[in-house]
Amino acid sequence: MNWLLLINALYFLFGATMYVGTMWVLKFFLYPTWRSLARDNVDMHFGIPTRAATKFFTVVVPVMFISGGILVWSEWGTIRVVPAIICLLGIIVLTWVGQGIIIPINVRIRGGDFKDDAELRSLLKRWMMLNDIRFYVSTLTWAAMVWLLVDRGRLLESFG
């Protein structure tokens, strides 16, 4: 049974790492270039990457909900339940912001549902602000998962 719990924790770590990595790439590498997007180049630089990310995370995230629940269940009664709960709440918040608020903006931008480049920039600015929320929540979620694994493996003691 312990190896199943390890596989579960490593799966959640994989998903959290992919999520946080995507958010960090967005914030530090793509946002600066997206401030100059226009109707004629928005699909190439925004549409293709957001469709690919949506497709990837649509497969990964639902399993993370189950994995997060297993993390909470398996750590119940220990102090490690705190980072497990942070992980589960993190993926819930990330999904709520992404699916509930950001995806409709994605659809508008990719569909060309804006009157001009000024409105496109306004939509992108709102999109970036909302993804800043995901940037911080995904960082917290990833850190909580690492905290859980470090504590479970007593890694700090092993370096002492």
| pLDDT tens digits along 71-103 | 999 999 999 999 999 999 999 999 999 999 999
Q: Mean of the pLDDT values across residues 59-70? A: 98
Confidence of residue 28 (pLDDT cuts 50, 70, 90): very high
Which of the two residues, 1 and 122, has the higher pLDDT score?
A: 122
Q: What is the pLDDT of residue 153?
A: 87
Confidence of residue 34 (pLDDT cuts 50, 70, 90): confident
CA–CA separation, 142 and 137 (whole Å)? 9
In this structure, what token pair is assigned to residue 9? 């924790």
Q: Mean of the pLDDT values across residues 43-49? A: 93
CA–CA separation, 160 and 158 (whole Å)? 6
With a cut of 80, say whether residue 156 has pLDDT above it: no
With a cut of 60, say whether residue 18 has pLDDT above it: yes
CA–CA separation, 140 and 124 (whole Å)? 24
CA–CA separation, 51 and 48 (whole Å)? 5
Q: What is the pLDDT of residue 1?
A: 56
With a cut of 90, say whether residue 134 has pLDDT above it: yes
* pLDDT tens digits, one per residue of 106-130: 999 999 999 999 999 999 999 999 9
Return the percentage of the chain with pLDDT > 90, whole number: 88
